[in-house]
Structure 1
Amino acid sequence: MAASEPSDDSLPESLRFTAPAELVDIGANLTHESFSRDLEAVLQRARAANVTTLILTGTDLKHAEQAAELSRRFPGLRATAGIHPHDASQWTRTLETGLRDLYRQPEVVAVGECGLDFNRNFSSPVEQERAFEAQLGLAAESGLPLFLHERDAGSRMLDILHHWRNDITHAVVHCFTGERDTLYGYLDLDLHIGLTGWLCDERRGHHLRDLLRDIPLDRLMVETDCPYLLPRNLPAKLKGRRNEPALLPWIVREIAHWRGTDEAELAHATTVTARRFFRLEDT
């Protein structure tokens, strides 16, 4: 996805929506350059929207280290650490050592973002599988849950995860956009599912709406994947195209609508699930 433009320092009044219960945004790319000039304001807007916990996505060693540092500086932040499949060609022993060091830090709560992306193949499928298997090994070694990325690779992802399922703890397929058979395969493996503003997009998110009732509430989590995937159900336009954590309540509202679930109940349930998954109960 293309880098998003930075937004103004405030959201329009019509977009300032406070969730009916505390929310955890399990996928926020706050180390993205578009947040460099107004990060503290972004965090303040998130808190005002009742988005109280953010899991910052570490897609490579540099950004994982930055995410861990931000988590030390600001309350309510935690980090993941991994190598995105796009960057799998860069996998080395040195990189593995750097990630292993991060997993010893209390701010780092998951291995990833890692997985397979056969949509763009910025790294070859062979390179992607090599880096993914290595990170599955690190998850088994560390005992941390997995933060997974998959696009157009559901069948192969399921094959690999079947092999590793007894060695790893929990795993979430973040920003799930797949089809019914892939979803059922993940649920059969007792995986969690992360949903984004993708389903707020009338151009491409329709099939997800029909699958929402099939996801058990105790396996569902929510995320913005900001600055990407700006929800298209917003009642006003932003000057830029940057998504941010304060907009997560709009995604929760859309999910609740299509599930036929009370919005407050959904917000509460996804937060309980996320806090349990990332072991945040005592934070």
Structure 2
Amino acid sequence: MIDIGVNLTHTRFDKDRLAVIERAKQAKLSALLITGTDIEQSEQAIALCQQAPNFLFCTAGIHPHDADQAQNNYLEQLEQLAQHSSVKAIGECGLDFNRNFSTPENQQRIFQGQVELAAQLQLPLFLHQRDAFEPWFKTLAPYITRVPAMVAHCFTGSKYELEQCLAAGMYIGITGWVCDERRGQTLREIVPLIPLQRLMIETDAPYLTPRTIRPKPKSSRNEPSYLPYIVTMLAKLLNCSEQALIQQTTANSEQVFNLRAADA
């Protein structure tokens, strides 16, 4: 299993980060992709990757929440970070008009720059989108054949949005949102539309702890070792074996992110 979305630089992991990594290995995960959300976090992610080569990999990017804080030379900074062998995608980047922590104008400008950079460097895009599908997709459309791959991270959109993403050849990342019987019902209904060849799995830790964990963990913090709960739910929804789902999603992630994951 490969967890393609882990916010391992988050402060909630400061006390036991190495133990979290070890528990992931014990849960039979073969690789983690650490999410870079701004320049500093991307630098920290790269530093973490040096501690566990062939198990930890990362992205480098600027999240739409952080677009207002991006420096004028952000593209040069990202291009330099992307030279590290552990960096496997540009992102997390995109648009978020739900919370608007940064202005829509800055979000669009910073997103556009990262899409162009991914095409220039021939790296996949690790994408975020919330309440901004049409401008997000319009930005990406000219680049669908110009970047190696696009991954719709933590997909929680509508059937229409899913069909658009799949028609564009995107990969779909599914998190513990699918394990939430309250707000994840719409996602559960459309997950069967995702071909296994386009599916990836992720925890988005420390967020989105699967509500199906039994016994319920004492901490609300999510971590990569909980990825099997997402696999169990997806296998049920897709009417396939957990092993088949693990094998295909692992192959998808290894191919798209050019991973040489550790055996597990």
TM range (shorter): over 0.9
The corresponding residue for 1:71 is 49
CA contact (8 A) 2:210 2:230 kept: yes
The corresponding residue for 1:41 is 19
Structure of greater relative contact order (alpha carbons < 8 Å, 6+ residues apart) = 1
The corresponding residue for 1:240 is 219
- Could you say what secondary structure the match of 2:259 adopts? coil
- Could you say what secondary structure the match of 2:210 adopts? coil
Number of positions where the alignment pairs a residue of Structure 1 with one of Structure 2: 261
Point out the more displaced range, 151-160 or 114-123. Answer: 151-160
Q: Distance in 2 between matches of 1:180 and 1:206?
A: 12
The corresponding residue for 1:159 is 138
CA contact (8 A) 1:155 1:182 kept: no
Q: Distance in 2 between matches of 1:157 and 1:179?
A: 14
Point out the more displaced range, 27-36 or 95-104. Answer: 95-104
CA contact (8 A) 1:59 1:83 kept: yes
Q: Distance in 1 between matches of 2:259 and 2:31?
A: 9
Q: Distance in 2 between matches of 1:136 and 1:167?
A: 10
> 2:67 is aligned with what amino acid?
A
> 2:230 is aligned with what amino acid?
I
The corresponding residue for 1:54 is 32
The corresponding residue for 2:254 is 275
The corresponding residue for 1:5 is none
Match of 2:184 among 189, 205, 219: 205
Root-mean-square deviation (CA), in Å? Answer: 1.1
Q: Distance in 2 between matches of 1:203 and 1:118?
A: 23
The corresponding residue for 2:98 is 119
The corresponding residue for 2:71 is 92
Match of 1:189 among 141, 150, 168: 168
- Could you say what secondary structure the match of 1:210 adopts? helix
Percent identity (aligned): 46
> 1:245 is aligned with what amino acid?
P
5+ long unaligned stretches in structure 1? 1-22
Q: Distance in 2 between matches of 1:224 and 1:134?
A: 27
Q: CA deviation at 1:281?
A: 4.4
The TM-score with structure 2 as length reference comes to 0.96
The TM-score with structure 1 as length reference comes to 0.90
Q: Distance in 2 between matches of 1:169 and 1:51?
A: 25
> 1:47 is aligned with what amino acid?
K
